[in-house]
Structure 1
């Protein structure tokens, strides 16, 4: 085996075995209380935006047809 083949197979194996560990750590934060949505929908959706997504409060991201906003 050549050096490039060995390095390529090692990096592929590392990515394969590292994938389950990465997905196990990525737990989504809990949603705000559903009762808040009925009482104050604006505050509920503001909390969803702040707690669930990596989007600054000053920015509106409207192009969700491609990548969308990254979840936390």
Structure 2
């Protein structure tokens, strides 16, 4: 999340400086957001595998509730 937010601020600056950069910058932000989502999904998969193998639920350790992960 921090990396995406940093990238967003930087790209927004480029878009304000040069309006021709709006379209490619917007596309880059979509790609960055989707890469972040892929990383989140990978984390969820790894946590599920860890739980299946050990019975230890890591999801509680990062501050979320188990209800957040039932979707």
Structure ranking higher on relative contact order (CA contacts 8 Å, 6+ apart): 1
The two structures have a TM-score, normalised by structure 2, of: 0.32
**Higher fraction of helix:** 2
